[in-house]
Amino acid sequence: MDEIFRLFVSIALVAGGILYVFHRIRLPAVVGLLVSGVVLGPQSLGVLTDPVQINQMAEIGIVLLMFSIGLDFTPDRMVEFRRAAVMGIAQMLICIAVTAVALAAFVPRFAEAVFLGFLVAHTSSTLMLKLFLDRGELGSPQVRLGLGISITQDLSAVPMLLVIPMMAGRGGSAADFGLATLKATGLLVVALAAGRWIVPKLLHAVMRTRNRELFLIALLVLCLGTAWGASAVGLSPALGAFLAGLAVARSAYGHQILAEVAPFRDLLVSLFFISVGMLVDLGTVAGFAGPAAAAVAGVLALKFLSGAVPVVAWGYPLRTAALVGLGIAQIGEFSFVLARSGHGVGLIGDRAFQFFVLVAIVTMAVNPFLIDRGPAVARTLTRIRWFRRLASRHENHVPEAVTESMTNHVVVAGYGLNGRNLAEALRSLALPHLVVDLDPDAVRRARRRGESILYGDCTRAEVLRKAGIGTARVYVVAVSDPRATRQTVQAARHESPGLHIIARTKYLSEIDALRNLGANEVIAEEFETSLEVLARTLGCYDLPRLRVGDVVARFREDAYQALRGTSPPESLRDLLGAVLPALEIATVTVAGGAPGAGQNVREIDLRGRTGATLLAVQRDGRMETIPGPDYRVRSGDVLVLAGTPGQVVAAAQLFDPAPDSKPPVPSPAPGVAT
């Protein structure tokens, strides 16, 4: 037992320290885990000399990883990424074919060359998403396409795991391959049937107990039991876990299941990468320096081109294609899963495995720096005639006569939710406008609906000129890519110095940069959301709408500075701190013979005598809001008063002074605007 404790404490200390250093120097965590394995392994510190136990736990990590991937493949998500799936298939076929042909002369069997193509084809979706998240581009087209391509790659790992033993010569004849395929198909049918009719009922019964321990045990039985069943019939345990994930993907508890599995999955998958790093032989790797550098360059170029070409061929601009290509230009997690499987059945030897691990680690390490060079790479592509010609095949601009005749119009960049709503409003008001978007499918759909829309990249000056930016009155930037927003604002300001530019951004931190680049107005989503929350919160206290509007307007005027770190004005703080607990709104019925009965508002002088405010008067079922100074109060009127509790009580005495009268009712009358 002491040995086990020593083992895990050593792993935690070394891996934790290395991951912290890698985080500080902005290198991927996966690379840090692989390096941790190298440091812990027999070739370095020698903390782990017998990795059998670690490998067994790592295999469970892979099972949980495949289970979570299955959970992610809901039917809705598959439909959402159907376009990117086509690009992903094309990307993988290009990688496999080029790698197999290039390496056929250097490996003893062509099957091994194809298998190495499998390894090159995969991308780390975790690394890609993390890098784009750091750049604030999760809603951008390149992320949607890159994620769809990587999901397709993840899904392809399932059949690849199935055929690896056969490629190694352990699957027997074609009949054996057909039998294995039949088994996998049968298991898939059983999983889908169970996911529709059995698993949801079982999960519902477990959830009704409100017992978290029982829920976790049920998940382990479902995931590991299916993996064990797949292994028992001669299939990969990872395939069984994937099918188990598919079985519960449609249930109402899919998100909760994923949340419960994620911590165990992440921990055990970390052990998997550490176990891979332990297999690195430093002496062998040291002799690969020259060939590895050439292989890294070749892999990066191949991954970039295989990702960029399908995106351009589909009709996206070169800038998007370049960022997608760079985003997938690394070797991913599932490549290590496949490599371990192939190495285990003898499909690749020890030296080939060592070479692959070295190349994979380097591609992951350099990928963040490549993505930063995305715009420069896109500009380089525009100078290559073949790429420029491929991209121009899909240009479907608005006719020249339309754009040339436009003047004093609105140009809208981006046809997402904000862009569509704005375009619809402009169209309903018969205001001239033109939308610019770089999604060819969205452009075609909008064109069929009669929308004036131009296909193109709004960051390019020639596209803006085509949209008539020089004669436009307003330019609204509603794209989800922060870098593209900055570039298009700068380009538009250069083309039209007098143009009014309104830019949307997610974060308050972008406001100064966009204004410096030429934006007249910047709308930060997180700030406007906070104002809406403020308005609705104040509304819960029955404040008059005018007062709420005044607070929000003053907050909007001052809070940009406040949210950047300076404190709000004293008056605003005092207002927000004092108005809510102090203000009361109440109703009182005017009694006959009361001092205020029969007098007009000026004569009553309610504010001067009591400090309260008369908000409205209800008479004969009709409501008079904010009555004027000549409005005469009558017996039987219902008055809506606002003020502090003492002010309201004092005001009520003017209209119903009898000692036995009811106190003012602390709630607004029906129909009062609050």
CA–CA distance, 200 with 494 (Å, rounded to integer): 59
Question: Is residue 621 a part of any domain in this protein?
Answer: yes
Task: Select from 543, 565, 580 the last residue of a domain.
Answer: 580
Q: What was the pLDDT predicted at 176?
A: 64
Boundary (domain end) residue, out of 492, 519, 546: 519
- Could you give the angle at the alpha carbon of 297 between the alpha carbons of 292 and 300, nearest 5°? 120
Decide if pLDDT at 627 tops 50: yes
Strand partners, 494: none
Least confident of 96-105, 217-226, 356-365, 535-544: 535-544
Does residue 514 sit in the same domain as residue 596? no
Does one domain contain both 42 and 120?
yes
388 part of a folded domain: no
Residue 532: inside a domain = yes
Residue 51 pLDDT grade (very low, low, confident, very high; cuts 50, 70, 90)? low
* Six-digit token string for 93: 């076929």
Establish if 12 belongs to a structural domain: yes
**3-state SS class at 516:** helix
pLDDT band at residue 544, thresholds of 50, 70 and 90? Answer: low
> Which strands make up the sheet holding 622-625, listed edge to edge?
584-589, 638-643, 613-619, 622-625
Mean pLDDT of 220-226: 85
65 and 180 inside one domain: yes
Residue type, 629: P
Report the percent of the chain where pLDDT is more than 70: 81
**Residues in contact with 41: Cβ distance below 8 Å, sequence separation at least 6, in sequence order:** 47, 48, 51, 277, 278, 279, 280
Q: Check whether 235 has a pLDDT greater than 60.
A: yes
pLDDT digits (tens, 9 = 90+) for 377-388: 877 877 777 776
Q: How many CB atoms lie within 10 A of CB 573?
A: 12
Q: Are 270 and 30 in contact (CB under 8 A)?
A: no
Query: For residue 670, is pLDDT > 60?
Result: no
494 and 618 co-located in one domain: no
Mean pLDDT along residues 175-203: 76
Q: Are residues 478 and 532 in the same domain?
A: no
pLDDT tens track for 154-181 = 778 878 887 888 888 765 556 666 776 7
Residue 384 lies in a domain: no
Quick one: pLDDT band at residue 78, thresholds 50, 70, 90? low
Q: What is the pLDDT of residue 7?
A: 77
Phi, psi of 174 (to 5 degrees): -60, -35
User: Domain of 445?
Assistant: 395-519
Whether 389 is in a domain gets the answer no
- Does residue 364 share a domain with residue 492? no
Instruction: Say whether both 476 and 542 belong to one domain.
Output: no
Give residue 91's pLDDT. 94
More confident residue, 541 or 399: 541
Measured CA angle at 135 (ends 382, 378), to 5 deg: 5
Higher pLDDT, 458 or 70: 458
Residues 511 and 535 in one domain: no
DSSP string, 2-51: HHHHHHHHHHHHHHHHHHHHHHHTT--HHHHHHHHHHHHSTTTT-S-S-T
**pLDDT for residue 394:** 53
pLDDT averaged over every residue in the chain: 79
CATH number, position 625: 3.30.70.1450
Question: What band does 220 get if pLDDT is binned at 50, 70 and 90?
Answer: confident
The CA–CA distances, whole Å, from 159 to 44, 163, 244 equal 36, 6, 16
Q: Are 442 and 379 in contact (CB under 8 A)?
A: no
Rg of the chain over all Cα atoms, to the nearest angstrom: 33
How many angstroms separate the Cα of 394 from the Cα of each of 144, 437, 446, 468? 20, 13, 16, 21
- Distance, in Å, from the CA atom of 216 to the CA atom of 258, rounded to the nearest integer, reads 11
Q: What is the pLDDT of residues 469-528, one digit of tens each?
A: 999 999 999 998 888 899 999 999 999 999 999 999 887 778 888 999 999 988 888 777
What is the domain-level CATH number for residue 469?
3.40.50.720
**Residue 540 vs residues 537, 545, 575: alpha-carbon distances, Å:** 5, 11, 16
Which pLDDT score is estimated for 493? Answer: 94
450: left (phi over 0), alpha (psi -120 to 50) or beta: left
Indicate if 502 and 546 belong to the same structural domain. Answer: no
Q: Tell me the pLDDT band of 671, cut-offs 50, 70 and 90.
A: very low
Beta bridge partners of 639: 588, 617
- Distance, in Å, from the CA atom of 243 to the CA atom of 186, rounded to the nearest integer, reads 11
* pLDDT tens digits, one per residue of 303-347: 999 998 898 888 788 888 888 999 899 998 789 888 988 988 889
pLDDT confidence bin for 536, thresholds 50/70/90: confident
Task: Tell me the CB-side half-sphere exposure of residue 99, using CA atoms within 13 A.
Answer: 29
Q: Which pLDDT score is estimated for 491?
A: 94
Do 317 and 426 reside in the same domain of the chain? no
**CA 299 and chain centroid, separation:** 28
Q: What is the mean pLDDT of residues 518-545?
A: 78
The answer on 552 and 564 residing in a single domain is yes
Is 510 found in the same domain as 599? no
- Mean pLDDT is lowest, of 75-79, 494-498, 596-600, for 75-79
End-to-end CA distance of the chain: 69
How does strand 584-589 pair with strand 638-643?
Answer: antiparallel
Name the domain count of the chain.
4
Phi, psi of 135 (to 5 degrees): -90, -5
Query: Given this model, what pLDDT does residue 92 score?
Result: 94
Query: Please, are residues 284 and 354 in contact by the beta-carbon 8 Å criterion?
Result: yes
- Most confident of the ranges 56-70, 232-246, 601-615: 601-615
Q: Which of 354, 379, 404 is the last residue of a domain?
A: 379
Encoded amino acid at 19, one letter: L
Supply the CATH number for residue 344's domain.
1.20.1530.20
Q: Does any domain span residue 663?
A: no
The three-state secondary structure class of 266 is helix
- Helix (H) / strand (E) element for 387: namely helix 385-392
Dihedral sign computed on CA atoms, order 435, 438, 442, 443: positive
189 belongs to a structural domain: yes
- For residue 559, the model assigns a pLDDT of 52
3-state secondary structure of 521: strand
